[in-house]
Chain A
Amino acid sequence: MLLEEPITFPSVENEEEEEQQYSFAVEYTGPPVPYDLPRAVPINVEKIPVAAVVSKVPLSNTELHIPVVPPILAPDRNQFSKELLLQPTVSPTSVIAFEERVSEDTNNCMLSGELSSYESGELAELTNNGSSRRLGVCSVSNENSSAIDYCDSFDKSRESSSRARVSNDGDLNQPDWGSNESVLSLDYPSSRVSSLKPGDCNNESNGDVRRPQVVTFRDIELDDVLDEEFSQDEVQPQVVRVKREPQTKGKKGSCYRCFKGNRFTEKEVCIVCDAKYCSNCVLRAMGSMPEGRKCVTCIGFRIDEAKRGSLGKCSRMLKRLLNDLEVRQIMKAEKLCEANQLPPEYICVNGQPLCHEQLAILQSCPNPPKKLKPGNYWYDKVSGLWGKEGQKPSKIISPHLNVGGSIRPDASNGNTQVFINGREITKVELRMLQLAGVQVAGNPHFWVNEDGSYQEEGQKNTRGYIWGKAGTKLVCAVLSLPVPSKSSNTCGEPLSSMSSRSVPDYLEQRTLHKILLVGSTGSGSSTIFKQAKILYKDVPFSEEERENIKLTIQTNVYGYLGILLEGRERFEEESLAEMRKRKCSKDTDAEAGSTDDSDGKTIYSIGPRLKAFSEWLLKTMVSGNLEGIFAAATREYAPLVEELWKDAAIRATYDRRNELEMLPSVASYYLERAVEILSTNYEPSDLDILYAEGLTSSNGLAYVDFSFPKSSSDENIDTADQHDSLLRYQLIRVQARGLGENCKWLEMFEDVGMVIFCVALSDYDQLSADGTNKMLLSRKIFESIVSHPTFDQMDFLLILNKFDLFEEKLERLPLTRCEWFDDFHPLVSHHRTNTNSNSINHNPSLGQLAFHYIAVKFKRLYSALTGRKLYVSLVKGLEPNSIDTALKYAREILKWDEERANFSLSEHSFYSTEVSSFSH
């Protein structure tokens, strides 16, 4: 049975707020009501969470829009309340609808009036004056009411939401073992969530019910909260948070846990809820203090802003209880953990709340504002002047920080009609300017730079320096105006290079996008990694790395030489055998064999000294400790190498290098310059490093942190893109070894944003050591990684690498050499005679066709395995631009992925089409 009227509560009487009334609307299914009021859990009034307003949130500029209540006709409350219960993310409009319905149901039109009285200013006052009037989302529950999911909006922390969601009766009394008693009260959702005053409720439980019911909503906050949930954005709007109250409170002055002691016993205070614990209880109540001195139940909550000053300063009691190291760790955690940081949206600069990155910029600049408290500030980006909204400047901070909006003329509420950098200055400043000898007659508009030089608007020449006179600073001190700090002048280039600045730990984790780069051996994933390093790092390789690289390259070159020498021996034997055969035939033919070449000399023969060297080299290669000896050998054998390289036999062998299968294609790049490379003072160039094999393969894992440099085209798109240059990416390359199906460590990479899988196109005819086709091997690894449970729902970007080699090879060997590609029958155009001139669109080359064919093969495989879409990019590993393009493509995918979460409800289709058109 469904009652049309909501269960009503007698409204709450308050000393100050007589008119403040509460009610709630809920589905009622019980028997007809004889107006027995539901009993609320008796709870002390003091314990009820109070909605705390951010101390000085700017309300002057926020656009509070008061919801208009249009009449609505279908009060389908049943359906609605379900909706409300099931979906914590109701759209803002539906909330308004809710209000309407309720107001109509209750036949009371006080709502609109009530709402309109909620001016923003009042909001702040109401909560500030400490009255027990509750603001907040008025979701009221009686004791059998089902879940009210709005608790989300109060506290975002995972702990509370996981606990507080439980709100059925049965769970109320569930004990929370082992930790401590104070947890218990957390389980009373009504006490925490509802804005109803249970105490009052209790008092009046037998009272009359004639009072009209009013549902009041804090519309703006609700909107914000919903928006926030809706967008799942990191940046939280100015939500007025419920101040956490300690769950239990004994008599005044006693410990909150054991209720013993008095005012004079030493106690430690929770920085969130102000609970005080004696020395016996503090460790039980606060546990291991991962975020500093907080009750176990308060972990994850924001701290009481009033206690921000005491962060990192612990009481003597704690020092006595714990040893130095422990205290230090706690204080460090307290100061540095994410939950305790100043929420950036509490700080408004030039009327715009900050985001995390901006706050980080502000705090990490060389000359930061001191003791930043929540509030409204103005900031003059040109001169670095900084002050509270509506007040004179209080400090000169580092200029040119990209924080907040643009400065407004009335930022400091001046009325002098003299402007500095577009801000009307205050009288005190004007006075200072006059004393500093600046001509201020005629209400001039000045540009003041950070060094104090000023000029009039629209004029080029500098008129002078404000701080030039010695007396100016004294005047400033008298007028309590800021003067530039010394350090601000010394830092020449303030903040143009964002990438180099240090980011706090907690931010680092958040802003870092991890990209995993994998590929089978020889797929060129290490080349891509090195390219990324060269592309995006100012110093791609450190001295130490270069030294190692040099050694590796030199070892490799010795290896190539060894292969050459081996080839030489073979060629020598072959030609000797041939000679002998020829001689034999000559002997039998003519019997008069000349003995002039019988000493076995061919063009492949070398002198004894070189022979000894070659034998030694081959021997060490066989024994496998090539790396071990070459540091010393380089010096000793460098001249010998030169001699060897000049030897005709080697040159002859080198000319036949195509017949040496062991010799990798890059070998000729190094061998051409063997003498130079093997000298002791060789410095590998970036290109040398790029070509070098096996640089990162010895160690399983390599990673590089980078951010994409701002390109000129990016700059003028919009301001949102400015954050892009702040986003940091981490490219992690792991070796393919052991990427089997049962790979244990792949689950460590579950936090990566996407996986780049690298395949060498030119592998299609190559065989691996055990005789299987390398392309098929890549496919196998690809399959096992893609279907790995860790990478469920992960985006994959397939990089088809070595396109240059591939094109070249395709001319000689058909793609069908690989059995996977046996149905590749390209439609070769008849007009392909002039391959160089025609455009790709009309007449794709064979390589392009084959690439698309292979890409489709992989895409089909991928969608068969996962049912999703594979992104593919074509890359020439040795060309920086193509790597850059591929990695930027990866960035787009990541970005899109983030946005998809925001738009999953409404614009999904739009986005998916866009991306599919973007991909190849």
Chain B
Amino acid sequence: MSAAELKERHAAATVTVDNLRERLRQRRHQLLDTDVAGYARSQGRSPVTFGPTDLVCCRTLQGHTGKVYSLDWTPERNRVVSASQDGRLIVWNALTSQKTHAIKLPCAWVMTCAFSPMGQSVACGGLDSMCSIFNLNSPTDRDGNLPVSKTLSGHKGYVSCCQYVPDEDIHIITSSGDQTCVLWDITTGLRTSVFGGEFQSGHTADVLSVSINGSSSRMFVSGSCDATARLWDTRVASRAVRTFHGHEGDVNTVKFFPDGNRFGTGSDDGTCRLFDIRTGHQLQVYYQQHCDNEVPHVTSIAFSISGRLLFAGYSNGDCYVWDTLLGKVVLNLGSLQNSHEGRVSCLGLSADGSALCTGSWDTNLKIWAFGGHRKVI
């Protein structure tokens, strides 16, 4: 078979696939008679309302000297780890707003960080294409720095996101600019499986985010610069379970819905979307029209424990609280007093859902919580 012939057949196959995809899209469109908000409205549901003290900034975590890029809560205790461009990971006690660890990283260009489920170690990754694990209990060296306890190397591009597999400290899933996601065994430091890459069903551009299903930890989704999100089964690395189209820009962030049957995405096209992993349908688009033509990118999202609220950080410093049911913005944290002065780059909800932490390019992190009569500190 000559090269020309191969090329021809490849082109033909591409056309076929595109046609099939288009038919699929049309069919989906046909079947999708309503979205969540439309149905909820028809059922007469009213949106959530917020009083003036229902969500206030009650702590400001100052200490970074560079843009904050990522944060993560511990599952059980009120601790937060944050990664910043100043080349440090800081572990915070969110209650007292004090640092407990400040880890100077060997490579300052860090993009992501994660707390282990047991709260014993933190992981981070960045432009050095490695995922570094720090054990918080290990003794510091002469200069007071915490040594790296494990490096997971093997990615051929930057590490954009990492998340520990829930309930075990030994597995972590990373996403990378080399278009793959990898499941690692931390004890051996080796790759257990690689998702995507050479396979056709993998992402075709940099993977920017992963989220592991909270209810069944073998499923995870990934969002990518190819404007798709993909669902993976850790047991089947060879191909993605499902690909979710819909976004018109890079998918910056993905997050599973608390029930594990849906997940949300945030994208450069300024929208957040809700997808159902069982049907593959897009359930809802969350988009706020802006008066000017500048469309802020969605940088990070998080769901409340019930799933009724969706917190979304935007590149213009806004942080919307969406009513997921009615698709309405019920609060903009960016317009409140004491809000961030820069892009909200990351946010996360504490495990018990009582507090929201936002990290921003203004170098600060802020803890938002119910500001009513409850006494703080």
Contacts and interface: CB of A to CB of B under 8 A. Distances in A.
A699 B129 contact: yes
Contacts of B225: 742, 744
B120 interface: no
Contacts of B85: 748, 751
B274 interface: no
Contacts of B305: none
A700 B62 contact: no
A748 to B, nearest CB: 5
A337 B132 CA distance: 26
Contact of A288 (B65, B92, B107, B377): B92
Interface stretch (A323-331, A445-453, A669-677, A773-781): A323-331
Contact of B377 (A176, A283, A326, A509): A283
A323 B78 CA distance: 14
A179 B338 contact: yes
A178 B177 contact: no
B234 interface: no
Given A284-B377, A288-B98, A290-B63, A699 B93 contact: no
A738 interface: yes
Nearest to B206: A738
B98 A289 contact: yes
B98 A330 contact: yes
B226 to A, nearest CB: 11
A700 B100 contact: no
Contact of B60 (A175, A288, A326, A698): A288
Nearest to B92: A288
Contact of B338 (A178, A290, A700): A178
B258 interface: no
Interface in A143-195: 175-179
Q: Report, as a range, how many residues of chain B touch the other chain.
A: 35 or more
Contact of A290 (B62, B157, B268): B62
Interface string A267-309: 0000000000000100110011110000010010000000000
A178 B97 contact: no
B204 to A, nearest CB: 12
A640 interface: no
A321 interface: yes
Nearest to A325: B100
B156 interface: yes
Nearest to A288: B97
Interface string A742-753: 101100100100
Contacts of B61: 288
Interface in B113-143: 127-130
A332 interface: yes
A333 to B, nearest CB: 7
A175 B52 CA distance: 15
Nearest to B144: A332
A553 interface: no
B337 interface: yes
Contacts of B60: 179, 287-288, 296
Contacts of A751: 85
A280 B65 CA distance: 28
B127 A737 contact: no
B129 A326 contact: no
A177 B206 contact: no
A331 B329 CA distance: 43
Interface string B200-237: 00000010100000000000000001000000000000
B169 to A, nearest CB: 20
B76 to A, nearest CB: 16
Interface string A312-336: 0000000001110110011011000
B57 interface: yes
Nearest to A742: B250
Contacts of A332: 102, 144
A751 B109 CA distance: 12
A288 to B, nearest CB: 4
Contacts of A179: 60, 338
B372 to A, nearest CB: 14
B377 A748 contact: no
A509 B85 CA distance: 12
A738 B157 contact: yes
Contacts of A299: 62
A701 B85 CA distance: 15
Contacts of B59: 287-288
Contacts of A322: 96, 98
B158 interface: yes
Nearest to A702: B128
Residue with the greatest number of chain B CB neighbours at <10 A, chosen from A178, A284, A287: A178
Contacts of B338: 176-179
Contact of B62 (A175, A288, A323, A744): A288
Closest 8 A/B residue pairs (Cβ): A177-B337, A326-B98, A290-B62, A325-B100, A329-B99, A290-B63, A288-B97, A701-B127
Given A509-B86, A700-B157, 18 more contacts: A176-B338, A177-B337, A178-B338, A283-B97, A288-B62, A288-B99, A296-B60, A322-B98, A325-B100, A325-B101, A326-B100, A698-B129, A699-B153, A700-B128, A700-B177, A748-B109, A748-B127, A751-B85
Interface of B: 56-63, 65, 85-86, 92-93, 96-102, 107, 109, 111, 127-130, 144, 153, 156-158, 160, 177, 206, 208, 225, 250, 268, 336-338, 377
Interface of A: 175-179, 280, 283-284, 287-290, 296, 299, 321-323, 325-326, 329-330, 332-333, 509, 698-701, 734, 737-738, 742, 744-745, 748, 751
